Structure 1
Amino acid sequence: MTAGVTDLTETQRLVELERYNLPGTLEDRKSTYYEDLDNLVTLAAQVCGVPFSVINVITADEQHQIAAQGIDPDVCSREDSMCAQVFRHGRTVIVEDCRDDPRFRNNPFVTGEIADVRFYASTPLITRDGHSLGTLCVFDQIPGTLTEQQRRSLEILADQIMDILDLQLRTRQLSRALAELGRSNQLLGEFAGRVSHDLQGPLTSIRGFAEMVQSDLQDDPDSRQYLDRIVGSAARMASMIDDLLDFARAGGILRVQPVSLARVTAAVQEDLSSALTGSNAQVYVDDFVAEADPSQLHVMLQNLLQNSLNYRHPEREPRIRITASGEFEHWLLEFADNGVGIAPQDRQRALEPLVRLEGSAVEGTGLGLATCSRIAQAHGGRLELDETEGGGLTVRVWFGSEPSSDPGHLP
C-alpha cells in the first residue's frame, strides 16, 4: 500500500485536491477515467462481499462521493462524514458494528438519520507525496468483517484508484504543455518523454493488478467483466500515450535520406495487417523514391492509413491510393481514400491537436492529422485536406517546399 500520510497541513492537502481537480464537475464524470473508477468501486464491493462501496473525496467542509456502487453518488457535510474522522490516519479501518464503536455510534450514517450503516471499512487514497485525498469505503447494513485477503485487495484497489487519478493529472499536464509549447519541438519532446514515463507506471500497475486478480476470480464472471473493462481502459490509455509521443516527437531532428514510398507503405501495412484484413481494404501505392525522414514518414502514413480504416464509408470497402510526384528533394505525396471524408468547414480544425470533430463515433485522441501536419512542417512543407473525387478524403503533403496556389502541382 502507499506509504502513510506525512505531517502535512490541511492547507497543503486542499492545494493537492485542487491540483488533482477533485472532486471535479459533472462534465468530468463523463470521462473514461470516471468510468474506470466506477468499475473499480464495483469490484471493491464484490471482492469484499458487501452491497455498497464508494470513493469519497474530503474537501474543506464536505464529503463528495465521486463513484459509488449500490447507491447514487451524493454530497454531505464533512462534519457528518464517517470517513472524515479516519481518512488521515494512513491505514485501513475495519469496524464490525458501528453501533458499538464510540467514533461512529452517533453518526447520522449509523443512527438512521441519513443511512443505517453497521459494517464499515475504509482505506485512504494517498498520493505519492503523502497527501490523503479521501477514501475507498465499503459498508453494509448488517455487521460483518473482512478477511486478511479482502483487506489487502481493498488496499490494492485504492492504489489503482490513485493510479487512475495520477493518469488523469498527467494527461491534463501533458495536454497543457502541448498547447503552450506549440512549435518548440525540442522542449516538447523532452517534456513528453518525462511525462509519458509517469503515465506508463500507473498503466503497468493497473495491468499487473488485473492479471493478479483474474487468477483469483475464475469462477466469478461478473468480477471478470469489470476486470476486462479495466484492461481495455489500460489499452486505450497506452494507445493515447503512443499518440501523444508521436505528436511530440514529430518535427524533431530530421534524419533525411532516400526513401522508397512503396517500401515504407509496405512496412505500415504489415503493422496494420489485422485491421486491413478485417476491413477488406485495398491499398495501391506508387514506387517513388524521394528525400525524407523514414521514421517520420512511417508515422505519417500509419496515421493516415489508420484514419482511413477508422472513418471508412459504411456502404463500401476501403480503397486507398498513395501517389507521389515531383523531384527528389521537393515532392508531393497524395493520400486518397473513399471514406466518409471531412466537411470543408471542419478541415482546418481537424489539423489542430486534441480536436475531435463533433458527431465522430470513433474513439481517439484527435492527434493523428495534427501529427502528420507537424511532420510536413518539419520537412519544410505543409499538409492540406481536400475531397476525393467520388467521395472520401484526399491528404496532400508537400515535402521540401510550400505548396503553390495550384494544389495539384509543385512550385
Structure 2
Amino acid sequence: MATQELDEAQEAYFGGITEVDCQEQARIEAVHALGLLERPVSKGIEQVVILAAQLCQVPNATINIVDEEWLHAIATVGGPGGRFPRDDIPCDLVVRSGQELVAPDTATVPILAGSPVIDGTLGRIGFYASVPMRTLTGHVVGTLCAWDERPQKFTEDQLNMLRVLADHAIGIFQMGDALERARHATEQLARQSRNAREIVETSFDPYYSCDREGRITFWNTAAENTFGWSRAEVVGSVAVDRLVPGRNRPTVEDELSELEQGTVIHRCGPLLCKDGTEKIVELQMWASRHESGRHVFARDVTAAQTVDHARRAAEELLGAAFRHASDGIVVIAVTGEDNGRIVRANPAAGTLTGRGSVGPVGPVGPTGLIGLTIEDVLAGPARPPGSVREGEEGPRPDHPDDVADRRALLEDLDLLVAEPAGTFPGDTIEHLARMPVGPGHLYIQLVVTLTRDEEGTPEHALVQMRDVTAAQAHEQWLKRQTRTDPLTGLANRLALRERLNSEIARLRDQEAGLGVLMVDLDNFHVVNDELGFTGGDDLIARTATVLAAAVPQQAFTARLGGDQFVVLTRAVAAEAVHDLAERVAQALGTVGTGFTPAPTTPVTVSVGVTFTRNPASDPEELLKDADTARYQDKRRRRSGSPAGDPVDPVSPAALHAVPSPRGSESRPVPAPTPAPRHTPVRPGDTAHPARSRKN
C-alpha cells in the first residue's frame, strides 16, 4: 500500500510538471527585454552556479535561458555549455510548467526516461534537480539546475537554497538590466549635449548667444571667421553695442524688447566687422524657453551670393561637359506632357544613333532626337533612299529579340520611376541594347540615372550611351573560340554538351523527339599513315563540309573528336532520323576519294542512330547508345549483312532521372545558344574548305 501511494504521489507530481502554460510568447519577450542572451555573463552569475553545485553536493550545475527553440547554458560548472534543443533537455518541463523538478533517481521517473541526456544518447544523468528562474513580472525565463551521473538524496534544505540562488540570479540579471538602461540613458544625454554643442560650434553660419542683459556668452568659430573678432574679444560685451551700427540700434533694441520666450524674429540688416566694414546678414533671433537669454543665427548674404555664382559656374561647366562628352547623353522627361520623350541630347548622341544629320543642332541638342522616345532611337535610323534595294527605304524590320529587349528596357525604366528613391542603387539601371544600323547593328551600353527634385519626385532620366560593338564582337569571338573546333569550324565537345542538355530539356514541354547521329570514318588511320597528318586534316575538313551541307539547317553538328562527328536533330519519329542517317551516309560516301595518290584502303562511313522522347534522358547514355549503334553499323557493313531493324520509337532511352508527367506545370528552359556553323576562326579566314560554303 505504501508503494502504491508513493507511485500515485509521484505520478501526480510529475503529471503536474507536464502541464504547459500559455505564456510562451510573453516569456520569450522577457528574455529579449532583459538581454539575457546578448549580455556577457557576470562574475555574480558564475558564483551562483558554483554555489549551487556545492550546496547540492554534485559536480554539475547550470543556469539555462530559453528562447523560441533552444536552451542556452550561459553559465555552467562541470557540464557542457552552449545551446541544445529544448525538447531534449528536462529543464524545458520546468520552464513550461513553472514548477520545480526534483528526481533523486531519474530511472524511476517515466517522463524523464526517454530524454537523450538521461538514457545515454547524449549523456546519462542519475540525479536531477531544477528550479525555475522567474522575473518580477512572473515569467519563467530559464532554470537553475544541478545534476549528477549517479542517483543521490536531496533534502528540503538543499531545495530551499537552490530556490534562493535562482532568485538571486534573476535579481542579478534585472539589476544589470536596470544599470545598463541607466548607463545608456546617461550616455545618450551626454552624447546629445555634445552633439548639440558640436553642431553649433561647427555650423557654417555665425552663431552667438546672450544673457538677459544682452551680453554675449557664446561666440562660435563661424562668427569669428565672419566678423573678425575672436571669442575672447566679444564674450562679456553687449551684442547691440558691439555689432549693430549706431543708426540701427534703436530699431534693434525695440525688436529685442518685444522678443518673448519661445518666439522667433527674422530680420535682414547690416552688422559691424572688426575692420569697420559692414556685412548684410539675415538674422534669426529667438528667446529660449528654458532659460533667460537670446540666441542668434546670422547668415552672410554675400557668402550666399558667392555660392550662387559658384553654382552658375558649375552649371556652365556641366553644360560644356554635356555638349563635348564622347559618350552620347540624352535627357528624357518622366513627368508632364513630354513624359517618355527626349527633351535634350548632346551631339555625341546624334552621331551614335545616326540622327545627328537629320536636322541642325539646336540649344537642346540635335533636332533629330528631340521628341523621340528611347524605343524610337533604339529601333535604328531610317535607311536613306538608294542605300538599299528599291522599295526597302525606311527603318529595318524589327527582330523579335530586339523588340523583347527594348520592351524589357522600358519596363525597367517604368519601375525605376515608380519605385521610391534608393530602391535601385544610385537610382541607376544598366542595359545592353542592340540597334540596327544599315545592314548590320550596333551594341549600345545604356546607363539610365533618375534625377529627382528636392522632395524626391522624379524629374528626368539621364541616359548615357556608349558604343560597345567592338567589345561585344571580341567577346562573342572569344566565346565562339571556346565552343568551336578549330579545324572544321563546327561546334566542339563543350558546345555539344550544352546543346544536348538544352534539347533534352526541351522535350519536357513539347510533343517532339530528339535524334542523335554518331558519324565515324572507317579506315581513317590509313589516310593518316599513307598521306600524313595533312591528308588526315584535309579529310576531316571535307567530311565536316559535306556533313554540314547534308543535314537540315536547324540541325546541330559537332565534331566529338578525331574522326567522330555528332548530329542532333529534332524529329517527330525515329523513321525520320533513320532517313536522315541514310542521306548522311550517301553524302559522305565519296568523301574519301580525290586523294593523289589514293589510299590503299577506301574510306567509308559508319552512322549510328538513337532516338528519344524522354525529357529525363541521360546525355551520356544517348551518346553511348548512338555510338553502340555506330559499331553495329560498322560490323554489319563489314560482314555484308542487311540493315538492321529501325529503332522502336516507343522505347525510351536510358533514364537519368524520373521524368515529370506531361501536362504538368512547365519549367522554363533557357533558349539554347546555337554553335556557329562554319564560322571563321579569325575574321577573314576562309581559306579552309570546311570554313566556307564557297569552297
TM-score by length of structure 1 reads: 0.41
Indicate the structure (1 or 2) with the bigger Cα radius of gyration: 2
Higher RCO, 1 vs 2 (CA within 8 Å, ≥6 residues apart): 1
More helix by share: 1
